[in-house]
């Protein structure tokens, strides 16, 4: 380890301050461009020891667990709470702009759709058993250390106010010191809590969890690795007025506000299309909204998600026909021949993107495409494939679903 004083020259893609040294870049978490800081350096990583000259854009963080002086350690979920709103918004949008530029794409990039504190309705905690009880929190950046959480300004009050309840429910299931995950989602009927990483639960543990949950209001469902332990209330979320019960522990957009913003862009571009394919559909975030416009074919690899989508569609009046197909689109993309059946295609893949599917789409005659992504780099690669195939990229809109983190969503619209 070496000590040195440096001047921060920029922000990296992960929100760290960057210094360009003769030996290469040095990444300094919690530092801002223009600041002079004393750091302890190990290879290309620097830890702030003191700030000699602070940037005017620096502000007090909203959370006690943020920054090098965070109480009980630094939570690794946020990296930019110390940056003022305007430069923060510029940074988030720049991640999308830079990704497109790296692939030679010239497109209109809209203003960042903002996210506000207290909107995150789905959170994945890390927990483990200790001598003092259940340790519940988030992992420190680049570490297995769990930072005990007492507050979380990005998360809904419906979750933060029930941290003690979540600990109480998890404690009987934690029989070893091995860490495990707890996914918590706030639904219209209460908290949906799913435990992952616990090998098994005895009958006694199950009874104890049941008794605890029944003594608490506001808990809709508790599950272990997808198996429902107790469900006092059916957990319900809505997609444009369509009620759906998602599978235990399944994916859902982290904030409803970001989901609604993405859906509005998707629906507006699809417009009057009558035959629509929703690829990587999940439980129907877009499919059930699009079914108010035209006939929808939803394709997804996860069987439980498809069944939840199908049940919701069958029990909702006023929707156009919705068909479903279980299919691994990474291995078996819809072919050019199959794509002839659709006027519009929407796809929202995992972070890896939809390269194989885009190669088929690029050769198709589908009139309109909407690409939704949580990874600007894989999105840019996929869009480049479509543009090379004759599509015109009309607009890309960045959406700040993950407040104060280096992650950004984007919705891109294309026409043949």
Provide the annotated binding site.
253, 280, 300, 348
Name the nearest CA neighbour of 312 among 244, 247, 246, 251: 244
DSSP H helices, 9-141, are 85-102
**SS3 breakdown of the chain: % helix, strand, coil, rounded to 5?**
25, 30, 45
Q: DSSP assignment, residue 171? A: G
List binding-site positions for S-adenosyl-L-methionine.
253, 280, 300, 348
Q: Which residues contact 122 (CB under 8 A, 6 or more apart)?
A: 183, 184, 185, 186, 252, 253, 254
Please state the φ and ψ torsions of residue 257, each to the nearest 5 degrees. Answer: -65, -45
According to DSSP, the residues that pair with 137 across neighbouring strands are 126, 148
Strands 368-373 and 344-347 turn out to be: parallel
- Strands of 226-342, DSSP E: 227-230, 237-239, 242-244, 275-279, 295-300, 322-326
22 vs 27: CA distance, rounded Å:
14
234 vs 220: CA distance, rounded Å:
6
Is 374 catalytic? The answer is yes
Strands 295-300 and 275-279 turn out to be: parallel
Neighbours of 91 (CB within 10 A): 19
> Tokens 């869009």 — which residue?
383
Which residue out of 115, 152, 194, 374 is catalytically annotated?
A: 374
Mutual orientation of helices 376-388 and 85-102 as an angle, nearest 10°?
40
Instruction: Cite the active site residues.
Output: 374
């Amino acid at each position: 380890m070496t000590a040195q004083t440096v001047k921060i020259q920029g922000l990296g893609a992960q929100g760290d301050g960057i210094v360009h040294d003769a030996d290469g870049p040095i990444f300094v978490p919690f530092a801002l461009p223009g600041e002079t800081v004393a750091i302890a350096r190990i290879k290309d990583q620097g830890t702030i020891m003191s700030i000699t000259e602070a940037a005017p854009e620096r502000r007090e963080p909203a959370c006690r667990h943020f920054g090098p002086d965070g109480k009980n350690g630094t939570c690794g979920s946020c990296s930019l709470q110390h940056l003022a709103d305007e430069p923060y918004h510029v940074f988030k949008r720049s991640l999308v702009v830079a990704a497109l530029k790296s692939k030679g794409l010239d497109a209109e990039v809209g203003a960042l759709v903002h996210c506000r504190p207290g909107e995150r309705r789905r959170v994945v905690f890390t927990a483990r058993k200790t001598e003092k009880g259940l340790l519940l929190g988030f992992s420190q950046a680049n570490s297995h250390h769990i930072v005990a959480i007492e507050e979380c300004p990005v998360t809904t009050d419906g979750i933060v106010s029930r941290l003690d309840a979540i600990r109480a429910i998890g404690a009987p299931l934690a029989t070893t010191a091995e860490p495990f995950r707890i996914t918590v989602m706030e639904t219209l009927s209460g908290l949906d809590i799913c435990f992952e990483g616990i090998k098994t639960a005895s009958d006694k543990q199950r009874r104890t969890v049941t008794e605890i949950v029944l003594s608490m209001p506001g808990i809709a469902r508790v599950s272990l690795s997808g198996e429902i332990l107790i469900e006092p209330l059916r957990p319900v979320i809505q997609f444009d007025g369509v009620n759906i019960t998602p599978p235990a522990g399944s994916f859902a957009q982290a904030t409803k506000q970001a989901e609604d913003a993405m859906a509005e862009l998707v629906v507006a571009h699809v417009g009057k299309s009558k035959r629509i394919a929703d690829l990587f559909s999940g439980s129907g975030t877009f499919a059930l909204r699009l079914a108010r416009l035209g006939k929808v074919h939803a394709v997804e690899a996860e069987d439980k998600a498809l069944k939840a989508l199908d049940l919701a569609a069958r029990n909702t009046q006023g929707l156009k026909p919705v068909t479903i197909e279980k299919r691994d689109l990474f291995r078996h993309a819809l072919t050019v021949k199959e794509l002839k059946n659709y006027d519009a295609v929407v796809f929202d893949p995992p972070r890896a993107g939809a390269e194989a599917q885009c190669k088929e789409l690029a050769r198709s005659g589908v009139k309109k495409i909407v690409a939704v992504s949580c990874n600007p780099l894989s999105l840019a690669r996929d869009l480049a494939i479509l543009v090379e195939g004759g599509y015109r990229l009309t607009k890309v809109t960045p959406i700040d679903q993950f407040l104060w983190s280096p992650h950004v969503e984007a919705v891109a619209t294309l026409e043949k």
